[in-house]
Amino acid sequence: MQAAPFQYDFYSEENAPKWRGLLVPSLNKVRHQVHPKLSSQQEALQYIEGLILVLLNTLCQAQPRTVQDVEERVQRSFPHPIEKWAIADAQAAIEKRKRRNPLALPVDKIHPLLKEVLGYKIDHQVSVYIVAVLEYISADILKLAGNYVRNIRHYEISQQDITVAMCADKVLMDMFHQVEEDISVFPLDEEPSAAEEQMYYDLVKAFMAEVRQYLRDLNLIIKVFREPFASNTMLFSDVENIFSRIVDIHEVTVKLLGLIEDTVEMTDEGSPHPLVGSCFEDLAEELAFDPYETYAQDILRSGFHDHFLSQLSKPGAALYLQSICEGFKEAVQYVLPRLLLTPVYHCLHYFEILKAKKQEKKKKLETSISLLKKCIPTVHSACRFYSQQMKGKHLAIKKMNEIQRNIDGWEGKDIGQCCNEFIMEGTLTRVGAKHERHIFLFDGLMICCKSNHGQPRLPGASAAEYRLKEKFFMRKVQINDKDDKEGEYRHAFEIILKDGNSVVFAAKSAEEKNGWMAALISLQYRSTLERMLDTAMLQEEKEEQMRLPGAEVYRFAQPDSEENVVFEENVQSKSGIPIIKAGTVLKLIERLTFHMYADPNFVRTFLTTYRSFCKSQELLDLLMERFDIPEPKPTEADQMAMENGDQPLSAELKRFRKEFVQPVQLRVLNVCRHWVEHHFYDFERDAQLLRQLEEFIGMVRGKAMRKWVESITKIIQRKKQAQANGPSHNITFESSPPSIEWHLCKAGQTDQFDLMTLHPIEIARQLTLLESDFYRAVQPSELVGSVWTKEDKEINSPNLLRMIRHTTNLTLWFEKCIVEAENVEERVAVISRIIEILQVFQELNNFNGVLEVVSAMNSSPVYRLDHTFEQIPSRQRKILEEAHELSEDHYKKYLAKLRSINPPCVPFFGIYLTNILKTEEGNPDFLKRHGKELINFSKRRKVAEITGEIQQYQNQPYCLRVENDIQKFFENLNPMEDMTEKEFADYLFNKSLEIEPRNARTLPRFPKKYSCPLKSPGVRPSTVRQGTMRHPTPLQNEPRKISYSRIPDSETESSAASAPNSPRTPLTPPPASTCVTVFSVSLCSLTDSDTIFYLSVSCLHHASVSCVCESLACSGRR
């Protein structure tokens, strides 16, 4: 009895909700397995889910009941060779299932749904088999897309990346796209033209990506092609002559890439670019490029190709190569010879890069160029092909568009929609018709055209050079080599279509045929070769686990576990590096100097926050311990081999020193360099610490370490010199700063300095300069751990406390000036003068000053003076109201204004202190895991983000003249004199009641206090008509430029937060905290009255402000 036809619709209104999103979380796990350092967009995983459902539909069409039924369906419907790999994976999954090793995709959820899909119940083993096949294909897609994403130097897989990567893979295209219309590749952005200027650092990054791809090509040659030759020496006895010194070249390339990565990592943040020329010079001095000379001579010698073919023509050679995998013999015959030229091309690429940079770093690179010239005297014959290959990649899209415009009769989608890369073009003869055809070969299309040259054209006819005759989709054809037939054709190959028809093309020479076959075979079997390489490298990684010293002799070798380190779940930095949530101090130091990758953001955050859980001396001791790495102990087998005179550990030790010891030691030195560069105050406070560091780096030996030791030494010397010379204020500006403005008192008349005698513009300018200096002097270490509220605050937070006390004194002084002006006319003039100072603060972007004035105006003694404020001009009242609005709604308008201005500026510090206090008090210092306490580094990261927000506004100084006497006047303000805080608060409030009693209809009369005129000079400069808002910008800023990401708005988001990965400017909006008041956290540790008062500035309009400063009794206007 025949089974009923399969009728299930996965996309119907009834069935779609059951499947939609079912596989997405599991596909994310698969992505993590194949590319743990990449992330993926939700849309990308949903797209793959759709593809997997298409495959599931294909498998269910056969209505399978047994594992054998599914296997037969896979063999019939999946293209070769992917069906073999999928079946092997599925069979392995059944075996693992028996050992309770589950798949990533949810078998238990899919199994009951399959009963509904098929209409009958199937065995659980069949479901496991089906799911294993689907998981293998999903992993293959994600691996392919991930490789593409890494090649274009991105860190997140998108749906577009999957589509583009699949289009370049013939096997997957055959599986999912059976008709031409299904092909749709997103247009790629054009590469920048050669005329467009690129930054040096971008060129270095691009070059590093090229070297990594070149290293993969070398691995393809060695692990996929050379390995079958080397493993059958009975058949191929001449392996060294075929592959020459390819292994040595691989070793040199690994070394060069490591040197460049180290150079980029160790480059100072203030340095314009990493000097990679020294990497070439170091290797050239060691004669490390010598293998290229030997290799080029071997590969380019006249008889090399004939000798190579003679090896392939040996009896049994063809059969052996065919047994490895389908198409491997053809790949060896045609693709391998071209691949063997890759090192020659790349060596020439080194030569071209060094020549291009010669003018920039002439002295440094001339040696490298001359040494390289000696190494490659025989490779210039390959230069023509090399340059064509390198430039073709950059001009691919442009070339496609030009070719399409040049073809008359083109129909269908644009070439750029179904192809990514132009491969080659040339003339071939179509055998049979004996017509010459001009062929354009792309990675997705082969286009055959007839030339229009020499043919008469009618008026108005197309000016295209070619007329389209036919086109072949590369995923729909097979390439077949043809032997020469005398009298019929020579140098021919066959294009076999899916319908069985075929076309034979003949080249003019064997060399031309080899070129076409190399390109065509490479396109046909590229995905197969890539998969073979991935499998070989994965197997090698499993087999060659690097032996490390035991944890009993080296504490940093302790394996990761939940008892010593916890990572943020499902969160990675943009560079793909896992983000630490919590850990022991040993694990934090280990990851700080990890051998597998560098994490500059982690280094920056750690050095900013480590004082909250570790002392400086302890950190240096741990770094020195981390640097001193013992070698792994030999096993019993190694001991026995050494007794027999063998050296079993020599290769292992070499790898251990190269891949573990050297990277760790370099990163220890890198941490030390960052420490002295950005946190030298630790060493200023502890001379013994500095001496110990200098002794440590003085004992470091080794050529690779020398330049980094010199770098650290130079930084220390520079810092010591700067410390001896004192702070430098020499800054060059585009134009001269404005002249000092004087009002009733002149320069030198310090005894007459007062609010009403000094010019309001100059008061605002000098206060802005003073507060800018205070703000820029605050170090991150003064904030982390809320140390400004602790017992040793005077030692740990001197600059922050200086700013807090200045703000407190200035605010109180404004209040005192107002209430001590007993005469109402004078009091109105004083308030108007303070509002004028506020105006200039606003023009100067001194937000701290603006909120000082707002705080004074909103204090209890001043806020209640209704009769006085009624006499203030309406224009000034509006200015005050607008300034007052900055602090409303959690400082929403202030934050918007801060992001809209250009530096220099003085941000309001109170909001940062509030956010730090909230973070410190709202998150524990330690997280408990399995009974052990781990340092909560996620908390430290949040605090570091806030300090980074502060630092990004510390770079640009004001272009204003310093008037020392006026600054000293404001630095020495002491409005409280000998009174206590409560006595002074009571004095201000009582004075306020005296000058404006409660419920008074008329004000008491008081004599005038000031003998000087009360008329203001205004806020426009007398010497310059450009206004105070235009301040010249400095040509040379301070060297430190630090940018951080924003403060997270919620706990969910903050858990995923990491140190910044992309640059930020002061124009980037810092977020409003969900609550900026300090009352959400404990203030019991705040014992300093100035600190409490300063923090109260950030809570101006909260009813509970009285709990911060009890003596400032709040009462509304009456």
Q: Concatenate the DSSP letters of all residues of 206-243 into one string.
A: HHHHHHHHHHHHHHIIIIIIIHHHHT-TTT---HHHHH
Regarding whether 895 and 952 lie in a shared domain, the answer is yes
Same domain, 299 and 400: no
Answer yes or no: do 306 and 415 share one domain.
no
Scan for tokens 């790629």, then name that residue: 188
| Nearest residue to 502 (alpha-carbon basis) of 431, 423, 426, 424 | 431
Query: Domain of 222: which CATH number?
Result: 1.20.900.10
pLDDT at 274 exceeding the cut of 80:
no
Nearest to 220 by CA among 531, 520, 655, 659: 531
Whether the predicted pLDDT of 1044 surpasses 80: no
Per-residue tokens: 253:
């390339």
| Pairing verdict, β 156-157 and 39-40 | parallel
Per-residue model confidence (pLDDT) at position 6: 60
Q: How many CB atoms neighbour CB 89 within 10 A?
A: 18
Q: Is residue 510 domain-shared with residue 595, that is, in the same domain? A: no
End residue of a domain, out of 375, 394, 413: 394
Same domain, 45 and 166: yes
Does 11 fall in a domain? no
303-359 pLDDT tens trace: 888 888 888 888 888 899 988 888 898 899 999 998 998 888 888 777 776 665 544
* CATH assignment of the domain containing 678: 1.20.870.10
Q: Is 157 helix (H, G, I), strand (E, B) or coil?
A: strand
Q: Is residue 249 part of a domain?
A: yes
Across-strand partners of 935?
Answer: 583, 926
Asked whether residue 768 is assigned to any structural domain, the reply reads yes
Q: Report yes or no on whether pTM surpasses 0.85.
A: no
Q: What b-and-e string marks burial along 730-752, b requiring 16 or more CB atoms within 10 Å of the CB?
A: eeebeeeebebbbbebeeeeeee
Q: What pLDDT band is residue 856 in, cutting at 50, 70 and 90?
A: very high
Which residue type is seen at 392?
A: G
At 1008-1027, the pLDDT tens digits run 888 888 888 888 887 654 44
Q: Tell me, what's the pLDDT at 60? A: 85
Q: Are 942 and 747 in contact (CB under 8 A)?
A: no
Highest mean pLDDT among 375-384, 498-507, 1087-1096: 498-507
Helices (H), 820-859: 824-843, 847-857
Q: Specify the pLDDT at position 107.
A: 84
Q: Are residues 412 and 308 in the same domain?
A: no
Alpha-helical segments (H) within 63-123 = 67-77, 82-98, 107-118
**Are 694 and 776 within one domain?**
no
Q: Provide the CA 735 distance to its chain's centre, in angstroms.
A: 38
DSSP 420-436: S-EEEEEEEEETTTTEE
Phi, psi for residue 816 in degrees, rounded to 5: -65, -45
Long-range (24+ apart) CB contacts under 8 A made by 567-572 are 568/938, 568/1055, 568/1056, 570/28, 571/1055, 571/1056, 571/1058, 572/37, 572/39
| Burial (0-12, 13-18, 19+ Cβ within 10 Å), 781 | buried
Residue 377 belongs to a domain:
yes
Cα dist from 418 to 51, 79, 184, 415, whole Å: 19, 20, 6, 6
103 and 88 share one domain: yes
The boundaries of the domain holding residue 1044 are 750-909+936-999+1009-1074
Q: What is the largest CA-CA distance in the chain?
A: 127
**Whole-angstrom Cα distance, residue 664 to residue 628?**
10
Last residue of a domain, one of 394, 426, 441: 394
Q: Are residues 585 and 509 in the same domain?
A: no
Q: How many domains does the chain have?
A: 5
pLDDT score at 1069? 35
Long-range contacts of 1007-1011 (CB under 8 A, 24+ apart): 1007/822, 1007/823, 1008/823, 1008/825, 1008/826, 1009/820, 1009/821, 1009/822, 1009/823, 1009/826, 1010/756, 1010/826
Whether the predicted pLDDT of 374 surpasses 60? no
Q: pLDDT category, 1045, cuts 50, 70, 90?
A: very low
Domain assignment present for 185 = no
Domain identity same for 268 and 138: no
pLDDT value at 386 more than 70 = no
Both tokens of residue 1007? Answer: 């004599």
CATH number of the domain enclosing 152: 1.10.20.10
- The whole-number average pLDDT for the span 555-578 is 81
Express as a percent the part of the chain with pLDDT over 70. Answer: 78
Q: How confident is the model at residue 431 (pLDDT cuts 50, 70, 90)?
A: confident
- Is the residue at 1088 inside a domain? no
For residue 795, give the CATH number of its domain.
1.10.840.10
Q: Tell me, yes or no, whether 193 lies in a domain.
A: no
My answer on whether 296 and 319 are in the same domain is yes
Please give the average per-residue pLDDT across 849-859, as a whole number: 94
Residue 578 above 90 pLDDT?
A: no
Place of tokens 């220890």: 668
291 and 346: one domain? yes
Domain CATH number, residue 414: 2.30.29.30
Q: What is the mean pLDDT of the chain?
A: 79
Separation of alpha carbons 285 and 279, rounded Å: 10
**Candidate from 565-574, 600-609, 610-619 with smallest mean pLDDT:** 565-574
Q: Is the pLDDT of residue 242 over 80?
A: yes
- The CA-atom distances, in angstroms, between 175 and each of 54, 530, 1106 are 10, 17, 73
Our separate counts of H helices and E strands in the chain read: 49, 14
CA atoms within 13 A on the CB side of 977: 4
* 689 located within any domain: yes
